Structure 1
Amino acid sequence: MLESIQSMCLHVVFILFTILIYQVFFNERDEERRKVTSKYYLLMLIILVFTMSQPVVYSEIYKYDFKSVAIILSFLYGGKRVGFSSFLVLLLMAYFTDQNLAVLLGNYMVLCLLLLPITRLFHRYGIKGKVTVISLFYSLIPITRGISLLIKGDEQELFFELSSSLIVLATLIAVVHLIENMKEQIEMRQELVRTEKMNVVSQLAASVAHEIRNPMTSVRGFMQLMQKEELTKEQQMYISISIEELDRAQEIINQYLALAKPQTDQYEIIDLTSTIQQSIDVMHSYAILNSIHISQNVEPSLKIEGLKLEIQQVLINIIKNAIEAIKSKGEIKIIAYHDMSGYICIKIKDNGVGMSTDQLKKLGSPYYSTKEKGTGLGLTVCHQIVKQMGGRITIHSELKKGTSFTIKLPSK
């Protein structure tokens, strides 16, 4: 038994070392990990092949390996496409290593189907919740195996089964901690870069916005007076265009000022459910003009602390971006609910043109926009507003498939 335990520890070291190599050398986003061409999927296959080709032999009848770790991690962090692809490789390896293909097919098909809802639940929690979810889920495997061994009366094998299950569970928990801690560090670095950019923009806004806005207001006033004079149609058109451009510049300056003047001292408890509905109502006509349907599934009595006008600004801006991304004949889905970690999630998903990985990395930065006449400040302001309210915005997108914005805000 001692040799078997030592062999299992070797498997643990190999798995942890492989994950560590992935974390150090490959900085993949969540969307990239969900592709079968990802480095993450490749490393899951390496773990799967190693553990199945080097099983821990306890007796002539019983052999153990860590293939369940690779399958579980494939689903949790790679999604169903990577998960089921790993499952197919498992069956292929079982065929070449003379394992019982029918038994593996039945057992692991059930495991994969159970992992689909577990994966969705897993990502709703913080790191402690994730560890709890995976511990409760994995405990089903030794329990079912233990019952089977008790029926057979093999008590010695039962002890080894429990010991090996504890080692596998400890490995899973260690891997979850490694991946989650690295994700947290990456997010912290991104937030630090974003904060530095925001500070630069805020200082610029505070120093020049007022000085620019005052002469622009005077110029606009004189142009409005000129419109009352007898002018040709061409001259009237030129003045109208000039006023429109001045108004656009004025809006950009207002966005700069919104970055420079946080108003956290005026926060109050607001009804988020009604605020979402009002924002949808405001954008309803704009969506109809573009032949776009807005569907919603919003829980009642959602409440947050903040400024109603600011959160409306965030919602309207994102919905407007979604409409413009679709252009015509599409659908926008808006979902809002309490998650398990004490936050309220608002998801705004469209089936528009989507964005590439490079575009997604830059999105939300000042001066970057995917629109021809955009400044990038609208989404920058949205990030700033949500951050001041103790929340965050995450964005997922695929080219030609659409974009999903998720706003998480502390619940009250």
Structure 2
Amino acid sequence: MWESIQDMCLHVVFILFTILIYQVFFNEREEKQKNIQSKFFLFMLIILVFTMSQPVLYSDIYKYDFKAVAIILSFLYGGKRVGFAAFLALLITGYFTDQRLLVLAGNYTVFCLLLLPITSLFHRYRLRGKIIVISLFYMSIPITRGISLQIKGDDRQTIFELSSSLIVLATLIVIIYLIENMNEQIKMKQELIRAEKLNVVSQLAASVAHEIRNPMTSVRGFMQLMQKENLTTEQQMYIRISIEELDRAQEIINQYLALAKPQTEQYEVVDLSSVIQQSIDVMRSYAILNSIHITQQVESSLIIHGLKLEIQQVLINVIKNAVEAIKSEGEIWITAAKQSADFISIQIKDNGVGMTDAQIKKLGSPYYSTKEKGTGLGLTVCHQIVKQMGGQIVIESELNKGTCFTIHLPTVK
């Protein structure tokens, strides 16, 4: 038995080495999601082929490998497509490695179907919760096998089954820890780059915004005086357009100043349910003008710490973006509920044009906008406001199907 366990440890080293290569050399790169998934699948395929072609031999009738690890990781970090692609690769590899194909297909069909809800549950938790979820899921398999072997009276094989399963589980936990830890570091690095960009924008805004605003105010005043003169219709139109463009420039400057302005006001207890309702009421007429219907489902008595006007600014900005993404004759769904003891979630979902993965990654960065005349500063300010409150904005979107903004805010404890 000890020789078999030593062989299993060699498998563990190979799998960990393969995962580390992927994380260090591939996962940190800025690439399209499809490219990331294809590379992740390639590494899972390497693990599958190796572990199934070099199984640990316990007896003439009993072999053990780590294919369950590759399948679980494929679903957890690759998604459904990578998961089922790994399942297909498992069957093909099983065919060429003299495994009982029908038994293999039956067992892992059930295994993969169970992984679908487990994957959804897995991503709701932080690291500790993720490890607990996957441990409970995986250990249910060897426990049922162990009970079956005990009924047959095979004590020796039961001991090996449980010990080998513990090695596999430990490997799975280490891999999840490595992936989650490195993903967190990547996020921190991206957040640092984002903070540096915001710092540059803030310094620029603070140094030049006031100097630009003063001459613009003077120019606008003279334009308004000229409107009172006896001018042709065409000249009146030119002046009106000039004033509108000056006002738009003024709004951009205000957004720059919002980035540069340090947060000095004290947070207060805010009735979030009331603020959401007020924001919807403000934007409802704008939505109706574009033939857009707003559906709302907001829980009562949602309380947070923050600044009422800034929260309202975030909500109005996101709802306005949703209306503009739909263009006309669409629908916006707004829901707000307490998701846990710590956080309240607000979802603003539309059925508009949607966005690609590349657009979602850039969204919220200064100077980037999907709108023709947008500056990207509106969402940049929104991200900053929510972050200062200890919250987070999560964006999910699919091209030509719509976008969902989820705003997580800490609740009053």
Q: Cα RMSD (Å) of the superposition?
A: 2.4
How high is the TM-score relative to the length of structure 1?
0.92
- 2:27·2:36 contact (CA, 8 Å) conserved in 1? no
Counterpart for residue 142 of structure 2: 142
Equivalences for 1:4-403 in 2 at 5 Å?
4-27=4-27, 38-263=38-263, 265-340=265-340, 342-403=342-403
Shift of 1:30: 11
Task: Find the aligned partners of 1:75 and 1:294 in 2 and give their Cα distance.
Answer: 35
Task: Find the aligned partners of 1:90 and 1:240 in 2 and give their Cα distance.
Answer: 68
Task: Find the aligned partners of 1:271 and 1:9 in 2 and give their Cα distance.
Answer: 56
- 2:45·2:86 contact (CA, 8 Å) conserved in 1? yes
SS of alignment partner, residue 328 of structure 2: coil
Task: Find the aligned partners of 2:319 and 2:143 in 1 and give their Cα distance.
Answer: 48
Task: Find the aligned partners of 1:29 and 1:350 in 2 and give their Cα distance.
Answer: 31
| Structure 1 residues 167-192: Cα deviation after superposition (integer angstroms, max 9, x where no partner) | 11111111111111111111111111
Shift of 1:120: 1.5
SS of alignment partner, residue 364 of structure 1: coil
| Structure 1 residues 279-301: Cα deviation after superposition (integer angstroms, max 9, x where no partner) | 33333333344344444444443
- 1:33·1:39 contact (CA, 8 Å) conserved in 2? no
- 1:336·1:344 contact (CA, 8 Å) conserved in 2? yes
- 1:72·1:115 contact (CA, 8 Å) conserved in 2? yes
Residue identity in the other structure for 1:77: Y
- 1:34·1:79 contact (CA, 8 Å) conserved in 2? no
Residue identity in the other structure for 2:134: I
- 1:272·1:304 contact (CA, 8 Å) conserved in 2? yes
Task: Find the aligned partners of 2:72 and 2:291 in 1 and give their Cα distance.
Answer: 42
Task: Find the aligned partners of 1:30 and 1:66 in 2 and give their Cα distance.
Answer: 30
Gaps of 5+ in 2: none
| Structure 1 residues 128-153: Cα deviation after superposition (integer angstroms, max 9, x where no partner) | 11112111221211221111112111
Task: Find the aligned partners of 1:188 and 1:215 in 2 and give their Cα distance.
Answer: 41
- 1:36·1:81 contact (CA, 8 Å) conserved in 2? no
Shift of 1:4: 0.8
Shift of 1:350: 3.4
| Structure 1 residues 203-255: Cα deviation after superposition (integer angstroms, max 9, x where no partner) | 12222222222332333233333323333222221221122111111111111
**Change in CA separation of 1:296 and 1:22 when aligned onto 2, cut-off 3 Å:** farther
**Change in CA separation of 1:292 and 1:11 when aligned onto 2, cut-off 3 Å:** farther
Shift of 1:90: 1.7
Task: Find the aligned partners of 1:36 and 1:181 in 2 and give their Cα distance.
Answer: 18
Task: Find the aligned partners of 2:401 and 2:375 in 1 and give their Cα distance.
Answer: 24
- 1:124·1:340 contact (CA, 8 Å) conserved in 2? no
Shift of 1:32: 5.0
Gaps of 5+ in 1: none
Task: Find the aligned partners of 2:331 and 2:48 in 1 and give their Cα distance.
Answer: 40
SS of alignment partner, residue 269 of structure 1: strand
Residue identity in the other structure for 1:19: I
**Change in CA separation of 1:31 and 1:111 when aligned onto 2, cut-off 3 Å:** farther
- 1:298·1:334 contact (CA, 8 Å) conserved in 2? yes
Paired-residue identity, %: 78
Shift of 1:329: 4.0
**Change in CA separation of 1:33 and 1:13 when aligned onto 2, cut-off 3 Å:** farther
Task: Find the aligned partners of 1:91 and 1:341 in 2 and give their Cα distance.
Answer: 44
Shift of 1:39: 0.6
Shift of 1:35: 7.1
